[in-house]
Amino acid sequence: MKETLQKMQAHLGKVRDLMMAGAVLSWDRETYMPQGGAAGRARQLGTLSQMAHELFVSDEVGQWLETLAPYEAEQDFDSDESSLIRVTRRDYERERRVPSELVGELARAASLGQQTWVRARQESDFSIFQPSLEKLVALRIRWAECFDYGESIYDPMLDFFEPGLTTAKVQAIFDEFRPPLVELVAAIAERQGRVDAGCLEGNFSEGAQWELGLEALRLMGFDFECGRQDRSAHPFTTSFSSNDVRITTRVDPRSIASALFSTIHEGGHALYELGVSPALDTTLLGNGASMTIHESQSRLYENVLGRSLPFWRYFYPKLQARFPHFQDVELETFYRAINRVQPSFVRVEADEVTYGLHIILRFELEQALVTGELAVADAPAAWNAKMESYLGLTPPNDTLGVLQDVHWSGGMIGYFPDYLLGSMLSVQLFAKAREGMPDLLSQIEAGRLADLLAWLREKVHTHGRKFTLDEITRRVLGTNLSPQPYLNYLRERYGEIYGLGS
Amino acid sequence: MKETLQKMQAHLGKVRDLMMAGAVLSWDRETYMPQGGAAGRARQLGTLSQMAHELFVSDEVGQWLETLAPYEAEQDFDSDESSLIRVTRRDYERERRVPSELVGELARAASLGQQTWVRARQESDFSIFQPSLEKLVALRIRWAECFDYGESIYDPMLDFFEPGLTTAKVQAIFDEFRPPLVELVAAIAERQGRVDAGCLEGNFSEGAQWELGLEALRLMGFDFECGRQDRSAHPFTTSFSSNDVRITTRVDPRSIASALFSTIHEGGHALYELGVSPALDTTLLGNGASMTIHESQSRLYENVLGRSLPFWRYFYPKLQARFPHFQDVELETFYRAINRVQPSFVRVEADEVTYGLHIILRFELEQALVTGELAVADAPAAWNAKMESYLGLTPPNDTLGVLQDVHWSGGMIGYFPDYLLGSMLSVQLFAKAREGMPDLLSQIEAGRLADLLAWLREKVHTHGRKFTLDEITRRVLGTNLSPQPYLNYLRERYGEIYGLGS
């Protein structure tokens, strides 16, 4: 049995090496690759994806999994070995349904798509990106049709990023969340004059912003021997092993908040990947478990921690030291500014309260795109109409509208809901962490974030892909993911800032 | 037949994609990878190399080659199709002899070796690198033993970088070259006071040096849409497609010459890779033909052009504009300074005349290492003894001695002679180019390098790996590579500078 497991692990180690090589090639494409490299890179990524897939779905993996079933049943559910077999089986059963050629084709289209998306953004012209998106949507539909989905063709797309998630489940949670959220947004809108975010605008040296971001990362516990930050058109995190995790950001000289909060957000993702048990490093379990859990980590650092008063009690003097602009700005003024609630165009720069509406918009548009209700050509208009209806704003151009997110250009459809679900989970996790560490806020005020990280490592990070979202929430929280704690958190933080009687 | 060829090309296209992916991973390791990534990167490169090799040496490739033999014979020798079959057969017959596991093991050892080499350099301590080098030498010997080599186990190593090259051939050329070279070095040594290179030293902004290098690359015709320059411990060039070619350099703030000539040298390599016919891009022929030809391009730009008076008549004002230090330095003084002949420690910064001795030293040491005459542990002492004997200098530390070159750390043994052979060829090629373009020097003085590049593209670059060194020299020069034109060139340029009556 041990021998079969070793054989399978050696085989899956190669699959993983090919996948990680693909991740390096994608990272390079987003950070340093000259334009001319686009065609070659798409070919290379297509081949890597297709070969990794062929290797993974080979018959022998199926035979090993069958042979190992009784062994798996004997092992502790939590053990690395049992989890490896269990999760590999889940992946295998999903991937066996998809032809390897389609996987290769999707990878090539995604690689070319990201290039046309960058150009379309530069020119703020959706029509440059439209043919790529049409191809990607068609391929993603072909991919979803490989599955026996229930009600919606959107289901397998959600499941890909969050195993077990369905359109109906997301809908139920969003239905519970949306009315009170809209109410909160409206209540705050009536008191808009109460917060002035003018101090966040100015002319902020890109170099000093970069250094501030690195300082925040160091404070969070990001290990620069095992990772780095670079620039890209859209911030992202990628991992090549638990000892080499890369994040990216972009810098806007006119805004102090843009790069910094993106850096902290990606830093949260990175800490998760860096915290995966080294024992899982050469296996398919050596990454974060799902995108909801991933976003719970990034949104926890970005918002629950990163926009909190205790954090800024410690970190504001560091920011002031780098930017004389803030010498005469009170901490309280700054804190209120970074928490100003104001409908805006760009999701990644949205405040926490209106953020949910950005996600709900995407959840609805994605469904319309993949069910064929909405033609890709009509996506910009549909986007703008929903922005007007949900946030009262019409994007002045496509870069601030339908072209703002990188996801679709990479063939990623069905990811967005996880941002909001992850935000919900982040609040539940932080509350649980405080239960175990009553002085957590004082620690944060003192710039000590190590205990928080240790708690997250133990409860979440170290397990990699061993457990599902439900398994994690049940074992860490003793309950499931729910929107109510998140709503209470939003009401409390923003109620206080905007003086809404509770 | 066409169908068999297409099948083979599709298959080899995948082999190439895996190889190019490996090149991206190696580039990243040398430029941006954090230290923590070393172990994972070695695994990934091992898997990519091994899988590419397995795919390449599969039985079906052999069957296709057999099927295609009559078709090949019918085609024009120069055609892409005939060349593809011919060169693939040569590669296939070589690679079939090597077990894929050994290829993977070499790739892993080389990847780890480069990391320990960088650390050893930083600490200037050979013992850090010694175990890696022992392993690499042993693996390279195991690799060479896969071949029926004739006189020397060093032969297959030479052949790997320059198909057909043998120890005896190199020895014969070096035997012809060395006595007159030593004579020239001695004659110049007697007149050492004639050239003062003091103006090259100072404190030169790294940013301005970087910009100057980019300006030189633009002038050479390097297309930044299809490539870029980054920093690394040792300058190198790598290609991921004929539209994505990367070079690296290092910058020494105390010396104006170090980064600049490295940049021009690597730029010469890059132009070669950028000039390969796009039709060869997805084939195994889509790179430079051999390392001798490659070095003929880099050394032509670095020296024959890059240290010539016509070039600096045009480029010196550009340099002066960036470095006020040179406002009062005459062009003639600068020109003599960059051509000062003086025994020095580091090959890549050596003058053209003493350069050959650096190569001969490595040629001898490599043979001693792989025949077992010299133990790896004794390499630093053997290096230093040869430096003392050939150049009259003893390196003060290992970084300036045995640790200076990147090659061995990457498992590359048998490459060095190609630098000197390439230098010889560069002079022959440049002379031939002048025959066809009598006003070439005036063009260079006017900063017009496009015709030279067009000539090199047509005669050399566009063919990729279609032709061997001998095939190229015979068709372009009508003769073979020879040391005599190079000796004459050195005597002429340095005779004039040092006032040696001819």
What are the boundaries of each domain within chain B?
2-146, 167-190+205-230+245-498
Interface membership of B20 toward A (CB under 8 Å) = yes
A21 to chain B: which residues are within 8 Å by CB?
21-22, 24-25, 44, 47-48
* Residue ranges of chain A whose pLDDT lies below 70: 502
Give buried/exposed letters for A288-316 (b at 16+ CB in 10 A, else e).
bbbbbbbbbbbbbbbbbbbbbbbbbbbbb
* Inter-chain touch A17–B226, beta carbons under 8 Å: no
Residue B386 to residue B404: CA distance in whole angstroms:
15
The 3 state secondary structure assigned to A25-67 is HHHHHHHCCCHHHHHHHHHHHHHHHHHHHHHHCCHHHHHHHHH
Which is nearest to B267 in space by CA: B336, B203, B220? B220
Interface membership of A284 toward B (CB under 8 Å) = no
B244 to chain A: which residues are within 8 Å by CB?
33-34, 36-37, 40-41
Report the C-alpha dihedral over residues A247, A292, A164, A244, rounded to 10 degrees.
20
Residue with tokens 């003024």, as numbered in its chain: A333
Distance from CA of B231 to the nearest CA of A (A): 13
**Which among A20, A34, A230 has the least Cβ separation from residue B227?**
A34
Interface membership of B19 toward A (CB under 8 Å) = no
**Which among A40, A230, A244 has the least Cβ separation from residue B241?**
A40
User: Catalytic annotation on B30?
Assistant: no
Contact yes or no for A428/A304 (Cβ under 8 A): no
Beta strands in A80-232 (DSSP E): 227-231
Minimum Cα–Cα distance from A16: chain B residue: B44
Cβ within 8 Å of residue A43, ≥6 positions away: A108, B13, B17, B282
**Which among B21, B36, B243 has the least Cβ separation from residue A48?**
B21
* Inter-chain touch B51–A227, beta carbons under 8 Å: no
A33 to chain B: which residues are within 8 Å by CB?
244
Residue A212 to residue A315: CA distance in whole angstroms:
10
pLDDT at A233: 87
Residue B441 to residue B444: CA distance in whole angstroms:
5
* Inter-chain touch A225–B34, beta carbons under 8 Å: yes
Distance from CA of B281 to the nearest CA of A (A): 8
Q: Which A residues in the span 22-51 are in contact with B, Cβ-Cβ below 8 Å?
A: 22, 24-25, 27-28, 32-37, 39-41, 43-44, 46-48, 51
Class of B167-190+205-230+245-498 per CATH?
mainly alpha
pLDDT at A502: 54
**Which among B14, B37, B226 has the least Cβ separation from residue A34?**
B226
Minimum Cα–Cα distance from B244: chain A residue: A37
Catalytic residue among B30, B266, B295, B302: B266
Residue A94 to residue A280: CA distance in whole angstroms:
21
At A129, the amino acid letter reads: F
A39 to chain B: which residues are within 8 Å by CB?
241, 243
A233-246: per-residue pLDDT in tens? Answer: 889 999 999 999 99
Task: Chunk chain B into consecutive blocks of 10 residues (it has 502) and report each block's average pLDDT, rounded to whole numbers.
Answer: 94 98 97 96 98 98 98 96 98 98 98 94 96 98 96 97 97 98 96 94 97 98 98 95 97 96 98 97 96 98 98 98 96 98 94 97 98 98 97 96 96 98 98 97 98 98 98 96 98 96 64
Residue with tokens 């030169």, as numbered in its chain: B204
Interface membership of B279 toward A (CB under 8 Å) = no
Contact yes or no for B264/B301 (Cβ under 8 A): yes
**Which among A21, A37, A226 has the least Cβ separation from residue B240?**
A37
pLDDT at B502: 54
Interface membership of A224 toward B (CB under 8 Å) = yes
- ipTM given for this complex: 0.96
Residue B105 to residue A159: CA distance in whole angstroms:
38
pTM: predicted TM-score of the whole model, two decimal places: 0.96
Interface membership of A130 toward B (CB under 8 Å) = no
pLDDT at A383: 98
Distance from CA of A25 to the nearest CA of B (A): 7
Options 2.170.120.20, 1.10.1370.30, 2.60.40.1180, 3.40.50.2300; CATH of A167-498: 1.10.1370.30
Interface membership of B214 toward A (CB under 8 Å) = no
Contact yes or no for B49/B98 (Cβ under 8 A): no
Contact yes or no for A379/A369 (Cβ under 8 A): yes
Distance from CA of B232 to the nearest CA of A (A): 15
Which is nearest to B275 in space by CA: B463, B75, B11, B60? B463
pLDDT at B501: 73
Residue A247 to residue A270: CA distance in whole angstroms:
7
Distance from CA of B468 to the nearest CA of A (A): 26
Distance from CA of B243 to the nearest CA of A (A): 5
A282 to chain B: which residues are within 8 Å by CB?
43
